[in-house]
A and B are shown apart, each in its own frame.
Chain A
Amino acid sequence: MNLGLVIPVFAGATTATVLLGLISKWIDRKVTAWIQWRKGPPWYQPLADIIKLLGKETIVPHAAGGTGFLLMPLVGFATVSVAATILWWSNLNPESGFIGDVIVVLYLLTIPAITIILGGSASGNPLAAVGAAREMKLLLAYELPMLLVILAAIFGATTTDSSTGLAASFQLGTIKTAHTVGFAASLGCVIGFLISLMCIQAKLGLVPFDMVEAECEIATGPFIEYSGAPLAIIHLTRVMLLAVMPLFIITIFWGGFSFNSFGMILASLGKYVLVLVVLILVRNTNPRIRIDHALRFFWYILTPLAIVALTLSMAKGF
């Protein structure tokens, strides 16, 4: 890719992600409202919330480490934008990725959680400290099964003639277009997809894994001291994550997005909406669980399952 193309692609991908995220957020709120016998907000509400916050005063508490406190939301936003760009680019031009972009995206998608931990700790608020500690535990909890099932997808996508070798499948584009070989690999990917659904539920901080912000316990935890523009950026980042995370697991496990024909567009949208609706339904039919329950759930239930998925993918000749 030549450098002249980088800026338009980056800007385009970020805008697309923000738009998709805002629409997803609205769908989330609307469907949640229907489930709860409410009317729900108008379509522009998520955007209006962010614009309103941008106009509010930014307050930095005395106890806060000013630079880190204010920098973290920006870092989170930047990493999600880059991850989104790589994902969109790999989806639109599967041949043009670079080797190891899967690892880069995974790494970039971990950073928002780390910025929450750092920003919360920098705010100097005891409730934020509790929230940051919970985010750290949650990160440890869901990253393990998530990595295992992504490995399962990578093994599932390795072609049998092995002329390209294992390394080739560390590319998002290759994983996306690969037709998984054999029943076992497909089964491994299906299990992996279901596990990754749970993991992104935690990554997005949705109920039952919203103990990081837990409104009624620690009053939004790490975000408690944020106000005005930094809070708007945090909201924007989360809105983008709501678009990026489903896009990521669809790319890895379910053939990704394509916009070559009308049917493909419909199929892509269908996949996305399905993932989103599953996230929303899980969010509305569960109570918030405790952090140790979450840890136990991810390590003792999902991790063994992820290992099964990985084994199935590796034994794909079956």
Chain B
Amino acid sequence: MKRTVIPIGPFHPIQEEPEFFQLTVEGETVVDVDVRLSCNHRGIERLCQDLTYDQIPFLLARICGICSASHPMAFCQACEDLCGVETPPRGLYLRSIICELERIHSHLLWVGLAGHFIGYNTVFMWAWKYREPVLELLERLIGNRNNYENFCVGGCRRDIPQEKLPEITEVMDEVQGNVEMLTKAVLDDPILKVRLGGIGILTYEQARQWCATGPTTRGSGVDIDVRRDEPYAAYNLLDWQVHVQPAGDVFAKTVVRLLEVLEAVKIIRQCVDQIEPGEIRAEVREMPQGEGIGHAEAPRGETFHYVCSDGTNYPIRYKVRAPTYVNLPSFKSSVIGQELADAMLTVAAMDPCYSCTERVAVVRNRRHSKKEILDQRTLMKLSWEKTERIRKNI
């Protein structure tokens, strides 16, 4: 049968960021998938090396518009790991509250988008309407709907005043009612079950094999969650559970996400009840020489940060590994063999976030078999030559 390449991207209605999937299809069945990243590389790791430890969280909040709490969170933990600082309890609770609010709005965003991808625009609009109070709450608490910028090495930058805590509970009541209704509607909808059930299956073994993280792997029955397995913030002080669904299909991933929203509401309620007045930040005098790692459970999975310090105010190496980066290869198992209509949905079901995942890519010109990799020396030489040319023209 004739094979056709269906390009998804670099710009495609299925995602709002530049990405490039090449689906090789026979008829409507996908037989191969290729992913090309780096359409929007921003060099954040390099930029971090020119910023002080106080400035870096502001940059890291901008790695991803949705996970703008998880990345600074992982960074702060990496630095705290490096200098051995203990964050005061109130700081830990504040961190948990913000991280869980982020999870609620991220998952609701995904549910809406998933609805849009299957042409169910009513779900799209409703889920985003339910998400709105959470964003407004974040604005009231932190000052920003996104890019919260509330984390710093040693704790939090701004306190949530004690008298504002009832507001959180109020919004949580609203969110819980709405999400319970939405969850029930999704679980009871027979057409949705037919449409989402049994497609894009990632089995338990495959999920382990590809080292997938987050709801992608929890939908395949793998019971991992950084929040529970290596507790950070206030998670070990709270009573909550990790939701796992064994089926591995898109429907299971949807259910996991919706249940996680309800779980996040539970976590925030407990935080509001347990939080006590006190310090929110431990003072950090200096950064010792050495290495530190930190990880956090972002809405899409585990985000991992590595920092290497030489004792100065700037890190000498900084490394970010976002959850989508490890989830993407699992497409080789879940997308291949699907119908085109399902393949698109499977791609979306992972909740890919491309801006987190960008890496430098080297493009080789295979047709002319000429090596086109520019090393540092060649680049310097090109730069000198250009400077010479410009100088002559002055």
Give the shortest distance, in Å, between A57 (CB) and chain B (any CB): 20
Complex alpha-carbon distance, A127 and B125, angstroms: 27
Contact B5 A126 (CB under 8 A): yes
Contacts of B36 in A (CB 8 A): none
A36 touches which of B12, B117, B125, B342 (Cβ 8 Å): B125
Tell me how far the C-beta of A264 lies from the nearest C-beta in chain B, rounded to whole angstroms: 35
Which B residues are in CB contact (< 8 Å) with A216?
13-14, 116-119, 344, 348
Task: Give the segment of A8-16, A193-201, A206-214 that binds chain B.
Answer: A206-214
Q: Which of chain B's residues have a CB closer than 8 A to the CB of A261? A: none
Task: Let me know if A288 and B118 touch, CB within 8 A.
Answer: yes
Nearest residue (CB) in A for B121 is A36
Q: How many A-B residue pairs have CB under 8 A?
A: 80
Tell me which residues across on chain B come within 8 A of A292, comparing CB atoms. Answer: 339
Say yes or no for B4: interface residue by CB 8 A criterion: yes
A287 at the interface (CB under 8 A from B): yes
Known contacts A38-B125, A207-B120, A286-B191; 7 further A-B pairs (Cβ under 8 A): A126-B4, A130-B28, A210-B119, A211-B341, A287-B118, A288-B195, A290-B195
Interface residue B336 (Cβ < 8 Å from any Cβ of A): no
Which residue of chain B lies nearest to A217 when distances are taken between CB atoms in the complex?
A: B344
Instruction: Tell me the count of chain B residues lying within 8 A, CB to CB, of chain A.
Output: 32
* A133 part of interface (Cβ distance < 8 Å): yes
CB distance A287 to B191 under 8 Å?
yes
Residue B214 interfacial (CB < 8 Å): no
- Give chain A nearest CB distance to B256 CB in angstroms: 19
With a 10 A CB-CB cut-off, give which of B12, B27, B340 has the most chain A CB atoms: B340
Is the pair B341, A37 in contact by a Cβ cutoff of 8 Å?
Answer: no
Q: Name B residues whose Cβ lies closer than 8 Å to a Cβ of A.
A: 4-6, 12-14, 25, 27-28, 115-126, 129, 191-192, 194-195, 339-342, 344, 348
A216 to B343, CA, bound (A): 11
Q: Which residue of B lies closest to A206 (CB)?
A: B119
Q: List 11 A-B contacts (CB under 8 A).
A: A36-B126, A38-B125, A130-B340, A133-B28, A207-B121, A218-B6, A219-B12, A219-B13, A284-B121, A287-B195, A288-B341
Judge if A95 is at the interface, Cβ distance under 8 Å: no
**Chain A residues near B115 (CB-CB < 8 A):** 287
**Could you tell me the distance in whole angstroms from the C-beta of B393 to the nearest C-beta in chain A?**
39
Chain B residue nearest to A209 (CB atoms) is B119
Which of B28, B119, B129, B348 gathers the greatest number of chain A CB atoms within 10 Å?
A: B119
| Residue from B122, B124, B341 with most neighbouring chain A CB atoms (10 Å) | B341
Contact A207 B119 (CB under 8 A): yes
In the bound complex, do residue B125 and residue A286 qualify as a contact, i.e. CB atoms below 8 Å apart?
Answer: no
